[in-house]
Chain A
Amino acid sequence: MSKLIYLDNAATTKVKDEVFEAMKPYFSELYGNPSSIYRFAGEGKKAIEEARRTVAEFIGAKPEEIYFTGGGSESDNWALKATAFAKRDKGKHIITSKIEHHAILHTCEYLEKLGYEITYVNVDENGVLKLDELKAAIREDTILISVMFANNEIGTIEPIKEIGEIAHEHGILFHTDAVQAYGHEHINVDDYNIDLLSASGHKINGPKGIGILYIRNSVKIGSFVHGGAQERGRRAGTHNTPGIIGFAKATEVAKREMDTRHSYESELRDYLIGRVLAEIPYTKLNGHKTDRLSNNANFSFQFIEGESLLIMLDQKEICASSGSACTSGSLDPSHVLLAIGLPHEIAHGSLRLTLSDETTKEDIDYVVDELKKIVERLRSMSPLYEDFVKKGGK
């Protein structure tokens, strides 16, 4: 088998042909700067405003509430830092979760250095935010709640509607990092009481280096990138026209295919989960069993370490990822796996497989067959497994 099996779609995705075709003219034909006055640049400008309408409509927002950015991390940084600055007179307390992406967590750490106080709310063993803890954490000086829509590692979908309600009852702004959920789950900013939302192009079969921040009209936060008057003066920098067009096209495709894709992927995901749990002993599924992204499966295999697993899968042309420390350059395994209560060594043996609409049942069968052999091989080399067997574990 020489075909590459790409099961790391939570890391990034392939740009769809349809998306790429839509972007092409804006590289070498319609390359004019959309901010210029002449008619030649007008095409790009029109296309950008059309793209903005497409994106806005998709999440139930108004076009002027959509700001194009350089990606999900920038959007997260903007949302947090600009809100912190704008609301500094009201208070310096922000609430987030323990399982956020580093774009949120590291921004929070930065804000802590500037004198802000951050409460990191716990999640339960399935990775679902503890709403009672969230409520208890709210203070007079709380200015923002930021909780991700769905987790990038374990796929758990958070109770966003409830969180939004809690935030609004207390007059607190609500931001959600929807990078993993945008284009995969139905999102309506009004229904969910979302004030700020981050999304990224490359997670939805669009290009890299483009994202959006939705900012509700009533939310008054400042510019993050200062310079020109682009994006109504709130995000300077020459428009990334091909990126913006690609983002909108990817949104359009995602919207069109969302329901069929969702059922196709979740069926395949459940087949994968079922086979792995049934055929590989001492394995645990991480994340919520049903309230999870349709393409996400995350396992912990006891007695083995994730990086070795990834290298062996790579040797079989399978692309996957792990929450192992060895894959991140630090000594600690993933903060998400620790937050759901896994002991360190179990977290080290984790594997994330994220499917796409191009993944087939044959791919899954091949992966599970290889995975079984690899896990068995690594366990045969593991002193932990040896001890376990000797103690009569088997």
Chain B
Amino acid sequence: MSQIIEYSDKVMEHFSNPRNVGEIENASGVGTVGNAKCGDIMRIYLDVDENGIIKDCKFKTFGCGAAVATSSMATEMIKGKSVEEALKLTNKAVQEALGGLPAVKVHCSLLAEEAVHAALWDYAQKNHLEIEGLKPPVDDIDETKEFYEMSGEQ
């Protein structure tokens, strides 16, 4: 029925001790990406100061070991960076920082990149900023309604 995929030590370390888990109240920007259908949803919160520096960054993730580890690594990589620098974060860089990902898990790193972009987009929208190269996120979270309908059962 299942087998646990081989993860690098770094992935396991980030999965076991994820950095920056949580929420930020009144965040400067929040981005949620992914699809419950496929089993991965990532949400990233940003606290950006008046100089455009990401002072704090938190995440919440529904997903596999790689999804948690890539979220953790991505938040660590953008913390303290400027908005422009954060925008340059690529899934490849996240993967490399984690010592690689199994081929079937590469999409998780892509999701981390998208989550950062979605949070930055939200920040830009809220502050009426134009950030070069920033595109609106695609929201494809679905089936969450059924989730709530099922709750309360047993």
Residues of A within 8 A of B (CB): 10-11, 152-153, 277, 282-285, 302-308, 310-311, 314-315, 321-329, 331, 333-334, 343-346, 348, 352, 380-388, 391, 393
Among B43, B60, B147, residue most surrounded by chain A Cβ atoms (within 10 Å): B147
Indicate if B26 sits at the interface (CB-CB under 8 A): no
Indicate if B65 sits at the interface (CB-CB under 8 A): yes
CB of B24 to closest CB in A, whole Å: 12
Contact with A along B43-82 (1 / 0, CB 8 A): 1000000000000000011111111100000000000000
B contact residues around A346 at 8 Å (CB): 146-147, 150
A310 CA to B4 CA, complexed, in Å: 8
A contact residues around B12 at 8 Å (CB): 311
Q: A152-B1, A323-B1 known; A305 and B63 CB under 8 Å?
A: yes
Indicate if B28 sits at the interface (CB-CB under 8 A): no
CB of A173 to closest CB in B, whole Å: 28
CB of A285 to closest CB in B, whole Å: 7
Indicate if B39 sits at the interface (CB-CB under 8 A): yes
Contact with A along B130-154 (1 / 0, CB 8 A): 0000000000000110111011111
CB of A321 to closest CB in B, whole Å: 4
Which 9 A/B pairs are nearest by Cβ-Cβ distance? Answer: A327-B2, A326-B64, A345-B36, A307-B64, A383-B43, A343-B146, A348-B39, A344-B37, A383-B60
Residues of B within 8 A of A (CB): 1-5, 12, 15-16, 18, 21, 23, 32, 36-43, 60-68, 104-105, 143-144, 146-148, 150-154
A325 CA to B1 CA, complexed, in Å: 10
User: A308–B151 contact, CB under 8 A?
Assistant: no
A/B interface sample: 14 pairs, CB < 8 A = A283-B154, A285-B154, A302-B150, A302-B151, A305-B39, A307-B5, A311-B4, A326-B67, A343-B147, A344-B38, A345-B39, A346-B150, A385-B62, A387-B144
User: A381–B147 contact, CB under 8 A?
Assistant: no
A314 CA to B7 CA, complexed, in Å: 13
CB of A333 to closest CB in B, whole Å: 7
Neighbour of B41 across the interface among A153, A277, A282, A383, CB < 8 A: A383
A314 CA to B40 CA, complexed, in Å: 21
A333 CA to B37 CA, complexed, in Å: 8
> What does DSSP make chain A's interface, helix, strand, loop or mixed?
mixed
- Taking CB as reference atom, which chain B residue is nearest A382? B62
A305 CA to B71 CA, complexed, in Å: 15
Neighbour of A315 across the interface among B5, B16, B43, CB < 8 A: B16
Among B16, B23, B153, residue most surrounded by chain A Cβ atoms (within 10 Å): B153
Q: A305-B39, A346-B150, A381-B60 known; A334 and B65 CB under 8 Å?
A: no
A310 CA to B63 CA, complexed, in Å: 12
B contact residues around A328 at 8 Å (CB): 1-2
A351 CA to B40 CA, complexed, in Å: 17
User: B150–A307 contact, CB under 8 A?
Assistant: no
User: B37–A326 contact, CB under 8 A?
Assistant: no
A contact residues around B5 at 8 Å (CB): 307, 326-327, 329
A329 CA to B18 CA, complexed, in Å: 23
User: A343–B60 contact, CB under 8 A?
Assistant: no
User: B39–A344 contact, CB under 8 A?
Assistant: yes
